[in-house]
Structure 1
Amino acid sequence: MNVAFFGSSLVSAYWNGAATYYRGIIRALDERGHQITFYEPDAYGRQQHRDIEDPSWARVVVYPGEGTDGVGRALDEAKSADLIVKASGVGVFDELLEAAVVNLKRPSNLVAFWDVDAPATLDRVQGNPSDPFRPLIPRYDLVLTYGGGEPVINAYKALGARECVPIYNALDPSTHFPVPPEPRFEGDLGFLGNRLPDREARVEEFFLRAAQAAPERRFLIGGSGWGDKAMPANVSYLGHVYTADHNAFNRTPMAVLNISRESMARYGFSPATRVFEAAGAGACLITDEWIGIEQFLEPDREVLVARNGDDVAAFVESLTPEIARHIGDAALKRVLSEHTYAHRVLELEQTLEGKRVAGVSLV
């Protein structure tokens, strides 16, 4: 199967939280014998902050982020693919691409909308009946999402989607795995996440409040945008942490913290890539509470679940390195057995299986 994929960026995780997900899915597709071309705009400084070179497992086409000639050429090239994907949150030309990909539909292909932030998309569309994406939803052959479970499926079907299937975040064991600790990441609790309006209040509650409640412990925060944020004295701000350093960041502190964005916590069933990155590194993970966590990791045995910042502080105060390592080892075993991108691509192939177009099977 030839796949044309329009997304934010495959080669840069800079202000691009979907990079790990894209890489895991697309690498696993390549391993299954599919050919992928990833089309991404030169925008937001991502090409200047690449953290990987063009990979061997996908062809990357970078088009200009200004003017429509470049994206037009990309669309013209993509029209011959068996599966044409428009991902959410490209950042530029989103409305153009949403309509243009639908218009590339023909009897011998499938067109799909792959939503890497379904809560945000649904909140926007449901709140604005004149949103231009709304009438396009029923025209896509299927909607894929990286989370949300039944609440997201039902919401998309209510908007006329023909089919909606979650393909959840997962682990790519070739990129996220246990490594030796690094002194620069030593501490009691680490958190990675960019500063976003939909997350900041929850970071204040689950991370900064916990740091205030445990002043003798060392807390680390990495990610873009936090430089001017007031923080307790026991918090060290690391700035942007490149993907190559994520394994060491996850492995070194006694525990690491996942904080969902508000909309994802509200919909539930939305494990962030950080959940699987941390588990893949054998980290002891503390996560904020959200519906569906037990579908991915078992609370108290493979993950610690906190209702608020006081819970986070209590976990940090009570953990020992031995207990933390036991939890991290259990999480690693679970995700390797059930939650890798190889598992997810099999689920994708099962979704596509039997979808014959012009008498040709796509898988």
Structure 2
Amino acid sequence: MKLVVLGLSLSSSWGNGHATTFRGLLAEFAARGHDILFLERDVPWYASQRDLTDPDYCRLEYYSDLDDLQRFTGEIARADAVIVGSYVPDGVKVGRFVQATARGATAFYDIDTPVTLAKLARGDFEYLDPALIPGFDLYLSFTGGPTLRFIERELGSPAARALYCQADPELYRPLDVPTRWDLSYLGTWSADRQPTVDKLLCSAARALPDSRFCVAGPQYPADIDWPANVERIEHVPPAEHPAFYAASRFTLNVTRADMIAAGWSPSVRLFEAAMCGCPVISDVWEGLDQLFEPGREILLARSTDDVIAALRGITPDKARAIGDAARQRALAEHTSRVRAGELEQHLEEAMVGKTMAALAAER
């Protein structure tokens, strides 16, 4: 299959989870024998923070603007499938161009589904116009569950399918390093996540002054009053994520408000930590118990007291057992290889559906 992907970023993991998602997924997709061209808008904030410049599993090309994108018209037209990702700059115009140009199947890959749907509901068409949705043969979504039916019934998608984030077990694996923190959190700052970080990590840190905590990720406001026992790290490159998790007795998973409301919206960090065998303490949302079994593969926290109880009451052996169980579940269901197989199946179905529709139209 010849696949063209127009995504937010493959080259830079700075301040976004798109790059690591695309890297694992496309590497395994290429390993299945497919040819991939990734087109990335050349923007200053990623150009200055690139940590992947020459991937060996796909061709990575940059375009400066929509006019420059025209250079790839022939390749988009000839591709068996073309994917447009969420948060692509000028995404609506890019989507229109792809739908007008591609002769193969077209798909929208929403790595931000609840955020996207909330934006559409308030008339914010930053990177997707609802008028475009019926024109994509396939809507791939980071959110599963009832949201998929909503995208089909209310927004007119011919086929909405879950394609959750994932982690690569070759990159994310347990490491034997000294423990630095009792509880860590890895994530870019967002206003709707910060109250949960405050409740589940900062308040626990204040209650447990002899324990060690860490918050890693960019864009946190300078005026946040971190407890003295919370270490701040501005950025952890993907290559260092396994060591970060290995140095954590527990790690925290915090979900954005729109994703909690939608449910069935796992974060890539959830799968990365599980793959590394680090026991996860997570906020609570619908569908999480279908991905990991609470109490055996993951710990749930609704309050500061829940976190304190876990840090004080769970023995090292029990914590290790939870991390090991989560890793086995992730290896079976949430690897890049599993997702690449799902992507292949969804695209093939879309290609067949488009061909059948074209034949029917000719009759």
| Partners of 1:99 and 1:136 within 8 A in 2 | yes
Matched, 1:171 2:185: no
RMSD of aligned alpha carbons: 1.9
CA deviation after TM superposition for structure 1 residue 17, in Å: 1.4
CA distances 1:162-210 after superposition (whole Å, capped 9, x unpaired) = 1100011122111111122256xx1100100011223222222222222
The residue that corresponds to 1:236 in the other structure is 231
Alignment map for 1:1-363 (pairs within 5 Å): 1-64=1-64, 67-90=65-88, 92-106=89-103, 109-128=104-123, 133-181=129-177, 186-226=180-220, 228=222, 229-354=224-349, 355-356=351-352, 357-358=354-355
- Alpha carbons of structure 1 residues 212 and 37: separation in structure 2 relative to 1, 3 Å: same
The whole-number CA distance in structure 1 between the counterparts of 2:195 and 2:68 is 39
The residue that corresponds to 2:361 in the other structure is none
| Partners of 1:191 and 1:258 within 8 A in 2 | yes
The whole-number CA distance in structure 2 between the counterparts of 1:153 and 1:172 is 29
User: Structure 1 stretch 233-242 or stretch 344-353: which is displaced more?
Assistant: 344-353
- Alpha carbons of structure 1 residues 232 and 75: separation in structure 2 relative to 1, 3 Å: farther
Q: Runs of 4+ in structure 1 displaced over 6 angstroms?
A: 129-132
Which residue identity is paired with 1:84? V
The whole-number CA distance in structure 1 between the counterparts of 2:116 and 2:167 is 24
Which residue identity is paired with 1:299? P
- Alpha carbons of structure 1 residues 197 and 111: separation in structure 2 relative to 1, 3 Å: same
Unaligned runs of 5+ in 2: 357-363
Unaligned runs of 5+ in 1: none
CA distances 1:224-244 after superposition (whole Å, capped 9, x unpaired) = 012512111110101111111
CA deviation after TM superposition for structure 1 residue 16, in Å: 1.6
CA distances 1:242-275 after superposition (whole Å, capped 9, x unpaired) = 1111000011111111101111111111110001
Percent identity for Structure 1 against Structure 2: 36
The whole-number CA distance in structure 2 between the counterparts of 1:149 and 1:47 is 36
| Partners of 2:76 and 2:102 within 8 A in 1 | no
| Partners of 2:136 and 2:157 within 8 A in 1 | yes
CA distances 1:117-146 after superposition (whole Å, capped 9, x unpaired) = 000111111222988701111111110012
TM-score by length of 2: 0.91
CA distances 1:83-116 after superposition (whole Å, capped 9, x unpaired) = 11110012x222221221121243xx10111100
| Partners of 2:28 and 2:340 within 8 A in 1 | yes
3-state DSSP of counterpart to 1:210: helix
3-state DSSP of counterpart to 1:198: coil
The whole-number CA distance in structure 2 between the counterparts of 1:252 and 1:325 is 13
- Alpha carbons of structure 1 residues 73 and 246: separation in structure 2 relative to 1, 3 Å: same
The whole-number CA distance in structure 2 between the counterparts of 1:125 and 1:227 is 28
Which residue identity is paired with 2:203? R
3-state DSSP of counterpart to 1:45: helix
| Partners of 1:149 and 1:269 within 8 A in 2 | yes
User: Structure 1 stretch 319-328 or stretch 249-258: which is displaced more?
Assistant: 319-328
